[in-house]
């Protein structure tokens, strides 16, 4: 057990102000899972929740020298996570709105014969997704297909494969991340984001 684990939050903050990285690591370890649960409850996506909490800890480190807390450290961190969640949800909403308009424009222009047909684009995207799925590790691919194609819940997948729901979430996060990475070579990122938006909400 680390000696710092016996320190109070205020003692850790004092050390952190002096750029003590071990103290910052102790704060991270102490509150990571609690804050992740807060973020995951609102974002319903493990990867986004992890990014949210990481952003909050990065901000804490950047502000370490001037940070003065009126309340407990956990109160500050949990509030920061909630504000970051709202910011991320707002950006997602605006991204979906823009993507919807982009796809609508493609359909309108495609019907006039002056741009690629939107249906052709959709079929090509589906084909590329299937190719990307086949490149996933075997267990990751199985979990992805059970979720995306069979519509199984995380709990049912976990039961069927004798793994934990957290492991299911990890496989799905990797699947989405890898598929998006493969698709980015061919398609604009905003189109990829829009097409995977429903997957994000399922994770």
pLDDT tens for 181-200 read: 776 654 444 444 444 444 33
Residue 147 CB neighbour total at 10 angstroms: 22
Looking at residue 31, its pLDDT comes to 93
Residues of the chain with CATH 1.10.10.10: 116-202
Instruction: Kindly tell me the burial class for residue 72, based on how many C-beta atoms sit within 10 Å of its own C-beta (0-12, 13-18, 19 or more).
Output: exposed
| Residue 173 CA from chain centroid, whole number | 8
- Residue 125: how many CA atoms within 13 Å on its side-chain side? 19
Copy the structure tokens of residue 79. 């509030």
What is the value of pTM for the model shown? 0.47
CATH class, range 3-87: mainly alpha
Instruction: Answer with the residue of higher pLDDT: 15 or 190.
Output: 15
Residues of the chain with CATH 1.10.1740.10: 3-87
Q: Calculate ∠ Cα 123-125-128, nearest 5°.
A: 110
Fold of the domain spanning 116-202: Arc Repressor Mutant, subunit A (1.10.10)
For residue 66, the 8-state DSSP code is T
Sequence-distant (6+) residues with CB within 8 A of 24 are 12, 16, 57, 60, 61, 64
pLDDT tens for 42-92 read: 888 888 889 889 999 998 999 888 888 777 888 888 888 888 888 887 766
Share of the chain above pLDDT 70, in %: 71
User: Which has the closest alpha carbon to 140: 172, 169, 163?
Assistant: 172
């Amino acid at each position: 057990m680390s000696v710092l684990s016996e320190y109070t939050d205020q003692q850790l903050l004092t050390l952190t102000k002096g750029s003590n990285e071990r103290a910052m690591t102790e704060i991270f370890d102490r509150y990571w899972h609690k804050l992740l649960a807060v973020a995951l409850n609102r974002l319903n996506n493990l990867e986004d929740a992890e990014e949210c909490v990481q952003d909050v800890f990065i901000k804490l480190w950047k502000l370490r020298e001037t940070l003065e807390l009126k309340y407990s450290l956990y109160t500050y961190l949990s509030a920061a996570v909630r504000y970051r969640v709202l910011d991320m949800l707002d950006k997602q909403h605006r991204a979906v709105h823009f993507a919807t308009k982009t796809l609508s424009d493609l359909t309108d222009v495609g019907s006039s014969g002056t741009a690629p047909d939107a249906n052709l684009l959709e079929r090509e995207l589906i084909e590329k997704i299937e190719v990307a799925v086949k490149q996933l590790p075997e267990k990751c691919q199985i979990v992805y297909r059970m979720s995306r194609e069979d519509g199984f819940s995380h709990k049912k997948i976990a039961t069927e494969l004798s793994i934990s729901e957290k492991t299911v979430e990890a496989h799905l996060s990797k699947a989405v991340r890898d598929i998006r990475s493969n698709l980015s070579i061919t398609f604009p990122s905003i189109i990829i984001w829009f097409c995977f938006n429903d997957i994000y909400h399922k994770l």
